[in-house]
Structure 1
């Protein structure tokens, strides 16, 4: 008996694009295809799998349960395909080809650019891909090659280098404090415009073990650390930011340093299969060296 035809990666890539864009036209733009081609590929995948993947609604294409189940597997296929492309981008002995780095927004925008610029100057054959997300990318599934992590990884099969602790504290712009007064105790924060989180992430829950902070006390709530930093620099009020970044700003002042002193453990991580490929090792070492200059600012 003939085996059923196995769906190709191209079909799963199309499925993922439709899931992400919510329409055939959006997926066509993302993939550089025509809308009818995308529609035919979805129909082909449905036929091969024997299940419907989308239903039409007033809001566009609605994924079925089968499509939602397939999505994380399609994302893994995409990550694996990208990793394969990067793997053949240079030999094991060359510092040439693509390296995909993931980091949190603040680190990626405020700290990494000069490190990456120096790295690229030293190794012009490198092609660097920077993924900024506060979601922890899965290195075991090769969503990225190297990660800057603010938590100690627990998975096996990873090379981990702890570079130190990044100090966090409460800060405000000097002219804000001149207008509103500088708090001397935690109780003095009452009446100040405070900047903080919107939802309780795991780090927030850990912070709450030592500090009596809650969502309702903030005048500006956002889960973007980058937006919080921008608000502090704009003089909105008092908020949390990395001490090194506050010092760099010049006009941002730390407050209540004796009462609020938090730290983020900082690690550089990569899959152990990459440790002997020179371009990954060079990027890994450059990140360790560069981030070491940023940590331990208390």
Structure 2
């Protein structure tokens, strides 16, 4: 019968799809990881991975083992926390995946307050404009703009947030008049690269009839910096505006969007106290920070 150490190696290889990546996570050399995988396959009498020059891919038998192995992983985490006894704060490591708008303009200050109150806590923020895989454990929790429609996950709505058209004072001072949406075709519009929009909720310019913005980036942070440099007009998170002096909202009576952030976690983490406590304080902190920054962006 397989032991937990071998199952831990199995999960690392399944998530990293290579012996070397799994080894870096486990702090083992690739040869040792390979031997452990072979031992596990022998114990189960089944081939768990297909080997190729591109890496290790789960076989049907291996895919069926993932859920039971993750259930054991969650049980081991709960056992470790139980043995550690009650703690004053949150400790251990938590990795958050987030779109770069939330990662740049919300998470730094929220996480700074959380870690200041919990010295034993280590937080990793993975800021990438894409969808994260909880199944592959790319993160312990993910901030997303769309609720997942399937999968064994826990989805908690964090808060609504607002987006507005915005431009720099320098741009507006030299550009044609912008008094209504009818004036927009005379202006350069900044937005997402259309074929790199990873979530339909991010297709902000569809409501404006703009299919191909002349200046574009897959990053909202880059878009905001382009707006700051006077490259044109774009859709901006209201909560990001306090970080962009010289940029202001325009056409506020004609255009505005509301979206929502959701915190997504693996269902097996529901009973992991460390993850539960961190999720609670993170959601509360993000709600308060979005409200504070939106008030500030509106001059309140």
TM-score by length of structure 1 reads 0.69
Structure 1 residues 97 and 27: CA distance shift in structure 2, 3 A: closer
* Cross-structure match for 2:208: 211
Which of 45, 55, 61 lines up with 2:54 in the alignment? 61
- Once the two structures are TM-superposed, the CA of residue 111 in structure 1 deviates from its matched residue by 1.7
Q: Does 1:112 align with 2:107?
A: yes
Structure 1 residues 242 and 73: CA distance shift in structure 2, 3 A: same
Retained in 2: the 8 A contact 1:151–1:267? yes
* Cross-structure match for 1:245: 240
- Once the two structures are TM-superposed, the CA of residue 96 in structure 1 deviates from its matched residue by 3.1
Distance 1:153 1:30 in 2: 27
Retained in 1: the 8 A contact 2:154–2:264? yes
* Cross-structure match for 1:292: 291
Distance 2:72 2:222 in 1: 29
Structure 1 residues 52 and 143: CA distance shift in structure 2, 3 A: closer
Aligned-residue Cα RMSD (Å) equals 4.5
* Cross-structure match for 2:140: 144
Q: Does 1:16 align with 2:10?
A: no
What secondary structure sits across from 1:241 in the alignment? strand
* Cross-structure match for 1:193: 188
62-71 or 286-295: bigger deviation: 62-71
Once the two structures are superposed, the pairs formed by residues 89-238 of structure 1 within 5 Å of their partners are: 91=85, 94-98=88-92, 100=94, 101-133=96-128, 134-135=130-131, 144=140, 148-151=143-146, 160=156, 163=159, 165-197=160-192, 198-199=194-195, 200=197, 201-204=199-202, 208=206, 210-214=207-211, 216=212, 218-238=213-233
Retained in 2: the 8 A contact 1:152–1:267? yes
Distance 2:143 2:201 in 1: 16
What secondary structure sits across from 1:96 in the alignment? coil
Distance 1:195 1:69 in 2: 45
What secondary structure sits across from 1:226 in the alignment? helix
- Once the two structures are TM-superposed, the CA of residue 64 in structure 1 deviates from its matched residue by 4.9
Distance 1:260 1:68 in 2: 52
Distance 1:122 1:5 in 2: 40
- Once the two structures are TM-superposed, the CA of residue 242 in structure 1 deviates from its matched residue by 1.0
Once the two structures are superposed, the pairs formed by residues 33-52 of structure 1 within 5 Å of their partners are: 33-47=28-42, 48=44, 50-51=46-47
TM-score by length of structure 2 reads 0.69
Structure 1 residues 206 and 252: CA distance shift in structure 2, 3 A: closer
- Once the two structures are TM-superposed, the CA of residue 186 in structure 1 deviates from its matched residue by 3.0
Structure 1, gaps ≥5 residues long:
none
Distance 1:179 1:6 in 2: 69
- Once the two structures are TM-superposed, the CA of residue 168 in structure 1 deviates from its matched residue by 0.6
Greater percentage in helix: 2
Distance 1:82 1:235 in 2: 53
Distance 1:79 1:110 in 2: 36
What secondary structure sits across from 1:250 in the alignment? coil
Structure 2, gaps ≥5 residues long:
none
